[in-house]
Amino acid sequence: MAARLCEADKAAILRPTERDASYYVAASYGHTPEFDGHVKTQTFAPGRGGVVGRVLLERKSVQIPDVLADPEYAFRDLARIGGFRTILGVPLLREGMPIGLLLMHRAAVRPFTQKQIELVETFADQAVIAIENVRLFDEVQARTRDLSESLEQQMATAEVLKVISRSKFELQPVLDTLVESATRLCDAERTAILLRDGNVYRIAARYGFSLELEEYQKQHPIAPGRDTLTGRVAQTGAVVHIPDALADPEYTYFEAQKLGGWRAMLGVPLLREGSCVGVMAMTRDTPGPFTDKQIELVTTFADQAVIAIENVRLFDEVQARTRELTESLESADGDL
């Protein structure tokens, strides 16, 4: 897609090796088998000799209008085998650090325009989202496997991950699956995920709620504070465990408590970059503590919710930017 829209003849994605600071070609488009076989034996490190090295050094997009006319370019044999003259390198950045590169090649000496460079940078952002999403899923899967003590837990957490994968960029099915699975696995009566909306938190998904309780909580969003479970989690950004709501001297959310009939409560923050973007709240009708394993499991589910929320947010942002740049580029082409 990026190569076609930017009129590039060839493209490649490079990823870091596990050994050192070098990078290897992980995906190739439009290149000959000879070129692909040649680059499989090579890695590329930071330096001025090639576009990959310069991108890694500068951590920004680098274009070489003509590799044969560039006095520092040291990969002339590679350019000959690959049949390219103009080359553009765009970093895949996560928190300012390169986790890969996107390369565009043209056979003729024809520099990429600024609009085309911006569009390639947008596709690089999309690649970062995909890479980061896989990494986060792998981390959460590993953590979930460590926490799962029974076949039931393993099957339920696997189902959650299947829903996340199947739903792709739809948030609601993921949240609905999370609250249902968490309730069942932790022997609770009800669970809700509340998401931040301005200065308050509103229910985005719930399981086990009566119609009366659901309507009450819709009409009464929760602000940060010590008087509610959700408010306390939002205020502290930490896990809050209340073994008995009626014995907690600071808890005053009694209208909802009467409608729900809960006593034991557990709240876990949904954290993104240290900010509480939501709360996963779980209740039981009998007083008593949740176990450490149950708290860890709910924390894992909260992490999965954050992944889904962040993935949808990033996808929406990049899609909007891609549409804008594509329309601008196509409009410019039409004026020629």
Q: Which of 88-97, 143-152, 249-258, 302-311 has the highest mean pLDDT?
A: 249-258
State mean pLDDT over 259-273. 95
- Give the model's pLDDT for residue 40: 87
36, 96, 301 from 99: Cα distances, Å: 21, 9, 27
Q: Is the pTM of this model over 0.95?
A: no
SS3 state at 191: strand
149, 159, 180, 296 from 152: Cα distances, Å: 8, 11, 14, 16
Buried b (16+ CB within 10 A) or exposed e, 218-236: eeebbebeeebbbbbbbee
21 or 190, which is more confident: 190
Q: How far is 295 from 233, CA to CA, in rounded Å?
A: 14
* pLDDT greater than 70 at residue 241: yes
- pLDDT tens profile 61-70: 999 999 999 9
188 sits in the region (left: phi over 0; alpha: psi -120 to 50; else beta) called beta
Strand order in the sheet with 62-64: 23-29, 10-16, 97-106, 86-94, 62-64
Which fold does the domain 133-312 belong to in CATH? Answer: Beta-Lactamase (3.30.450)
**DSSP 8-state assignment for residue 189:** S
User: What is the Cα 10 distance to its own chain's centre?
Assistant: 28
Buried b (16+ CB within 10 A) or exposed e, 168-177: eeebeebbbb
- Give the model's pLDDT for residue 233: 98
* pLDDT greater than 80 at residue 10: yes
Q: Helices 292-335 and 172-185 meet at what angle, rounded to 10?
A: 170
Q: How far is 164 from 14, CA to CA, in rounded Å?
A: 27
Listed in order, strand segments (DSSP E) in the chain are 10-16, 23-29, 62-64, 86-94, 97-106, 190-197, 200-207, 240-242, 264-272, 275-284
Q: How far is 104 from 120, CA to CA, in rounded Å?
A: 9
State mean pLDDT over 291-304. 90
- pLDDT tens profile 117-153: 999 998 888 888 888 888 888 888 777 766 655 556 6
- Provide the pLDDT confidence category of residue 112 given band limits of 50, 70 and 90: very high
66, 88, 103, 187 from 112: Cα distances, Å: 11, 8, 12, 59
- Mean pLDDT over each residue of the chain, to the nearest integer: 89
Q: One fold for both 2-112 and 133-312?
A: yes
User: What is the Cα 164 distance to its own chain's centre?
Assistant: 12
Q: What would the two tokens of residue 113 be?
A: 């325009």
- Provide the pLDDT confidence category of residue 201 given band limits of 50, 70 and 90: very high
Q: How many of the other CB atoms lie within 10 Å of CB of 246?
A: 11
The single residue listed with the structure tokens 């899967």 is 141
* pLDDT greater than 80 at residue 280: yes
Q: Which amino acid is at 106?
A: R
85 or 6, which is more confident: 85
State mean pLDDT over 281-307. 92
* pLDDT greater than 90 at residue 238: yes
DSSP of 201-251: EEEEEEES--HHHHHHHHHS-B-SSSSSHHHHHHHHSS-EEES-GGG-TT-
State mean pLDDT over 295-311. 88
The single residue listed with the structure tokens 């650090």 is 97
DSSP H/E element including 298: helix 292-335
State mean pLDDT over 11-38. 90
295 or 156, which is more confident: 295
Which fold does the domain 2-112 belong to in CATH? Answer: Beta-Lactamase (3.30.450)
Q: Among positive and negative, which fits the CA dihedral 92, 97, 100, 105?
A: positive
* pLDDT greater than 60 at residue 111: yes
Q: How far is 214 from 88, CA to CA, in rounded Å?
A: 54
State mean pLDDT over 33-59. 92
- Give the model's pLDDT for residue 158: 66
Q: How far is 44 from 103, CA to CA, in rounded Å?
A: 13
* pLDDT greater than 70 at residue 154: no
- Give the model's pLDDT for residue 146: 66
- Give the model's pLDDT for residue 151: 54
Give the domain ranges of the chain: 2-112, 133-312
